[in-house]
Amino acid sequence: MAAPLDLQRLYDNHAQALFAFLLNFTRHEADTHDVLQEVFLKLAQRPGLLDGVAEPRAFLIRLAHNQAIDLMRRRTTRQKSYEQLAAESDTLFASSGDPDEVAFRQGLAEVLAELPAEQRAVVHLKLWEGMTFDAIAGALEIPPNTAASRYRYGIDKLRDRLRPLYEEIKNHGRV
Amino acid sequence: MDEFEQFLSKQPLHSIPPEWRRELLVAGGVPSRQPWWREWLWPSPVAWAALAAVWLVIIALNFTVRLPAHETAKRTSPAATDIAVAFAEHRRLLAELTLPETTPRHPQMKPGPRSELILNIQET
């Protein structure tokens, strides 16, 4: 059994990143909670899981990603697909008092929701975790070239769709 | 990453709900018996500490400002009594000036009937 302090340390160091990744991937806060709970339960049940792991963050993302895919498969019989659920999510980004920022974040969340989940995962890890394509490939268990191409497709779509909003913010000197 | 990608990466993500920490750690088998102050201060112990520090500074400033204020108050007390005396004098003068002219300032003493008793005694 892992020492309680270790689990707390893991939570404090990685839970926010896992939460953001899972929320972007599943687009559903309740599912994010369920997956995170399964991750920490698994860590508690198998304290040696992180032994010899050089990059705990990447390992935990892989664990969370696999748990999320299992959850998605279990729920394929639901009326709503995850792509439909994706359109409902509006809490991916922090709120802002600036209307331009609000509009941009809303637009960004919407376009992210339109991306296939696996593209979204790569884009998230590259943009908000700053991971390399090799690290992303390791975390998502895909070849690095696949990670790079998924990122390229995803970012191109984001660029195309968000260009007007981005240019407006840029013209206001906020970039 | 180009400028657009950097701008995207700077968009702040939604924070994990604070109450999840306890729920998830308890689910993971971590006993919830933590020091009371830790649960009380979570999830922003630094923010609470900063707030406490600000209050300490405010209290300290309050004490340092209050002492001279007492002294100043003591120094200004005689001045206040001077003002009161001057005000009373002013009122008195005003009352004197506004009294009607017909009213005698001091009640006049009417002489009583002359007594012949003393003259009679001297003659005798």
Touching check for A153 and chain B: CB below 8 Å?
no
The amino acid at residue B57 is V
Q: What is the DSSP letter of A54?
A: S
**Is the per-residue pLDDT at A58 higher than 80?**
yes
pLDDT tens, residue by residue, A147-167: 999 999 999 999 999 998 888
Contact list in A for residue B13 (CB cut-off 8 A) is 20, 23-24, 92-94, 128
Contact list in A for residue B3 (CB cut-off 8 A) is 175
Between the ranges A109-113, B29-33, B76-80, where is the mean pLDDT highest?
Answer: A109-113
Burial of A123 (0-12, 13-18, 19+ CB in 10 A): buried
For residue A119, the model assigns a pLDDT of 95
Which token pair is A137? 């490939």
Pick the closest to residue A10 from B44, B24, B17, B38 (CA basis). Answer: B24
Q: What percent of chain B has pLDDT over 70?
A: 60
Question: When comparing pLDDT for A4 and A117, which is higher?
Answer: A117
Distance from CA of B52 to the nearest CA of A (A): 23
Contact list in B for residue A19 (CB cut-off 8 A) is 15-16, 20
Are B29 and A128 inside 8 Å of each other by CB?
no
A76 pLDDT band, cuts 50/70/90, is: low
Of A41, A127, A128, the CB nearest to B28: A41
Are B9 and A158 inside 8 Å of each other by CB?
no
Distance from CA of A73 to the nearest CA of B (A): 23
Rg (chain A; Cα; Å) = 17
Between the ranges A7-11, A57-61, B70-74, where is the mean pLDDT highest?
Answer: A57-61
A2 pLDDT band, cuts 50/70/90, is: very low
> DSSP alpha helices (H): ranges in A55-143?
56-74, 82-88, 99-114, 117-127, 133-140
DSSP 3-state assignment of B13?
A: strand
Rounded Cα distance between A67 and A62, Å, is 9
Burial of B123 (0-12, 13-18, 19+ CB in 10 A): exposed
Are A33 and B20 inside 8 Å of each other by CB?
yes
For residue A54, the model assigns a pLDDT of 86
Contact list in A for residue B25 (CB cut-off 8 A) is 4, 7-8, 11, 40
Burial of B5 (0-12, 13-18, 19+ CB in 10 A): middle
Rounded Cα distance between B33 and B13, Å, is 31
Q: What is the DSSP letter of A49?
A: G
